[in-house]
């Protein structure tokens, strides 16, 4: 990179690239977070390939027609995920591209999470080439099915692989035609988190005006509302400065009572915890029924969740959930040997009240929206019982990515009421 240390590289869209040692520990899952400022609507930002053979494993992240494309091949067919909206050129964005076995996820900025699984039996990613950023030294390196025609033109900022920051300027093995990225204002990088406003007050300085409840130079710190359990009311406990309410209570200090039959309004961060007793586990052959009315305009988010206890990691564990994906209701459950996913035919996020009935009997399940015909499905494998120990969360949940094993990152906005059933 010449004589000067470049911490934020600028790629020229032609011969620029930086390479790093081949990725390791990514066979089962790979999560790439990348901060980028594109100058052109096309170009390869990230590539990692396998051995040259008939079908070559690879992962690529590109700009295609102004959209972000996340593409991977595990051996039996590609998954190609696209951001729903084009990203603005000349501005900083952040993408998260993740695959867990065959299941892929892509989110750009605060947009919806796109989901798609790769086809066929292959589950593992087998990587042999270096990891490339911004381009490759020769097009020969790229497998044809990756469908790459341009290299990336623009800047790449922070890069995280499986939650670890890549040291862009020291850990590379090779680089070509890299220069230094220049921003007009220090606010261009969007340094203020959690909805904070950025003010630029000198050439290299910025100041964040944080929203209520956040503090720190970049508004990265969630203000503590408690230091000890006694500051959380009604039997709530203090976990890392935030009250985790006992079932039947809600609010920052758990002051609100939430009886079991209720109507509640949620914003993105709100939720209600109910004791698991309101939703008793029944014998494998008798039906379990969830009935509720919902009125929401959210396209993504968690409506109801029961899985592991709060504080445990939910990845791979049994759960039962109702959520929204692209506005469609998704009833999902995992009994230990495979997940069932039932998706409503129509979106339900039209700001009108809808009656939802979700019923599970062993592996079999169905959902019914209003008076429409029921939609049936079943989970794979032999397991019949859902082994869930935790509280039931409605409208959202604390620490959602951890609790739900990455299935949900937001709650819903809107109203939920239980019917008198």
List 124, 287, 316, 381, residue binding Ca ion (CB under 5 A): 124
Number of residues that bind Ca ion (CB under 5 A): 6
Query: CA triplet 96, 102, 103: central angle to 5 degrees?
Result: 45
- 20-28, 68-76, 130-138, 255-263 -> range binding Ca ion (CB under 5 A): 68-76
Q: Which is nearer to Ca ion, 78 or 306 (CB)?
A: 78
List 57, 69, 188, 288, residue binding Ca ion (CB under 5 A): 57
Q: Report residue 367 as tokens.
A: 């959902």
Report, in Å, the least distance between residue 113 CB and Ca ion: 24
Q: What is the DSSP letter of 309?
A: P
Report, in Å, the least distance between residue 55 CB and Ca ion: 8
Q: Which is nearer to Ca ion, 16 or 48 (CB)?
A: 48
Beta strands in 17-100 (DSSP E): 17-20, 29-38, 43-49, 58-64, 67-73, 78-82, 93-100
x/- contact string, 125-164, with Ca ion (CB under 5 A)? -x--------------------------------------
Query: What distance lies between CA 280 and its chain's CA centroid?
Result: 30
Report, in Å, the least distance between residue 418 CB and Ca ion: 46
Site membership for Ca ion, residue 49 (CB under 5 A) = no
The H-or-E segment that residue 215 falls in is strand 214-215
Site membership for Ca ion, residue 269 (CB under 5 A) = no
Q: Which is nearer to Ca ion, 22 or 270 (CB)?
A: 22
Q: Report residue 359 as tokens.
A: 């019923």
The residue sitting closest to Ca ion, measured at its beta carbon, is 75
List 38, 43, 75, 154, residue binding Ca ion (CB under 5 A): 75
Contact 167, 206 (CB under 8 A): no
Q: Which is nearer to Ca ion, 144 or 228 (CB)?
A: 144
Q: Report residue 290 as tokens.
A: 């969830």
Beta strands in 279-409 (DSSP E): 288-296, 301-306, 319-325, 328-334, 339-347, 354-361, 364-369, 375-378, 392-394
Report, in Å, the least distance between residue 366 CB and Ca ion: 36
Report, in Å, the least distance between residue 75 CB and Ca ion: 4
Q: How far is CA 304 from CA 150, 322, 323, 330, 398, in A?
A: 44, 5, 7, 11, 12
Q: In DSSP terms, which residues pair with 328 in a beta bridge? A: 325, 347
Q: Which is nearer to Ca ion, 51 or 257 (CB)?
A: 51
Q: Which is nearer to Ca ion, 73 or 114 (CB)?
A: 73
Q: Which is nearer to Ca ion, 75 or 104 (CB)?
A: 75
Strand order in the sheet with 58-64: 78-82, 67-73, 58-64, 43-49, 131-133, 17-20, 174-176
- 31-39, 117-125, 217-225, 375-383 -> range binding Ca ion (CB under 5 A): 117-125
Site membership for Ca ion, residue 74 (CB under 5 A) = yes
Q: Which is nearer to Ca ion, 99 or 189 (CB)?
A: 99
Q: Which is nearer to Ca ion, 49 or 307 (CB)?
A: 49
Identify how many contiguous H helices and E strands the chain contains and give both numbers. Answer: 1, 35
Report, in Å, the least distance between residue 27 CB and Ca ion: 8
In angstroms, rounded to a whole number, what is the distance separating the alpha carbons of residues 301 and 54? 40
Report, in Å, the least distance between residue 58 CB and Ca ion: 10
Alpha-helical segments (H) within 288-387: none
* Residues lying near Ca ion in the complex (CB under 5 A): 57, 74-75, 122, 124, 126
């Amino acid at each position: 990179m010449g004589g000067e240390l470049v911490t934020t590289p600028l790629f020229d869209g032609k011969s620029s690239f930086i390479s790093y040692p081949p990725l390791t520990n990514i066979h089962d899952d790979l999560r790439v977070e990348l901060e980028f400022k594109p100058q052109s609507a096309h170009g390869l930002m990230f590539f990692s390939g396998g051995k040259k053979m008939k079908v070559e494993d690879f992962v690529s992240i590109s700009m295609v027609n102004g959209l972000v494309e996340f593409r991977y091949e595990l051996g039996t067919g590609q998954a190609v995920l696209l951001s729903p909206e084009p990203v603005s050129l000349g501005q900083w964005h952040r993408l998260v591209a993740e695959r867990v076995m065959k299941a892929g996820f892509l989110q750009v900025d605060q947009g919806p999470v796109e989901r798609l699984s790769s086809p066929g039996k292959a589950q593992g990613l087998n990587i042999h080439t270096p990891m490339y950023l911004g381009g490759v030294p020769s097009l020969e390196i790229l497998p044809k099915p990756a469908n790459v025609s341009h290299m990336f033109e623009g800047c790449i900022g922070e890069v995280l692989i499986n939650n670890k920051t890549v040291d862009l300027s020291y850990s590379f093995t090779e680089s070509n035609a890299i220069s230094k990225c220049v921003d007009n204002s220090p606010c261009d990088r969007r340094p203020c988190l959690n909805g904070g406003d950025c003010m630029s007050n000198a050439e290299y300085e910025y100041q964040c005006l944080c929203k209520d409840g956040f503090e720190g130079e970049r508004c990265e710190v969630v203000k503590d509302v408690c230091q000890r359990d006694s500051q959380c009311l009604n039997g709530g406990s203090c976990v890392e400065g935030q009250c985790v309410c006992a079932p039947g209570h809600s609010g920052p200090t758990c002051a609100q009572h939430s009886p079991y039959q209720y109507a509640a309004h949620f914003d993105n961060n709100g939720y209600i915890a109910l004791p698991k007793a309101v939703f008793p586990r029944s014998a494998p052959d008798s039906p379990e029924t969830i009935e509720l009315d919902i009125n929401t305009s959210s396209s993504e988010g968690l409506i109801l969740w029961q899985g592991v206890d709060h504080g445990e990691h939910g990845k791979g564990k049994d759960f039962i959930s109702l959520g929204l994906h692209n506005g469609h209701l998704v009833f999902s459950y995992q009994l230990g040997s495979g997940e069932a996913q039932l998706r409503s035919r129509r979106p339900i996020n039209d700001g009108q009240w809808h009656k939802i009935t979700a019923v599970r009997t062993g592996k079999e399940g169905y959902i019914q929206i209003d008076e429409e015909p029921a939609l049936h499905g079943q989970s794979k494998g032999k397991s019949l019982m859902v082994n869930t120990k935790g509280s039931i969360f409605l409208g959202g949940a604390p620490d959602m990515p951890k609790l739900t094993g990455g299935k949900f990152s937001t709650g819903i906005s809107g109203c939920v009421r239980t019917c008198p059933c």
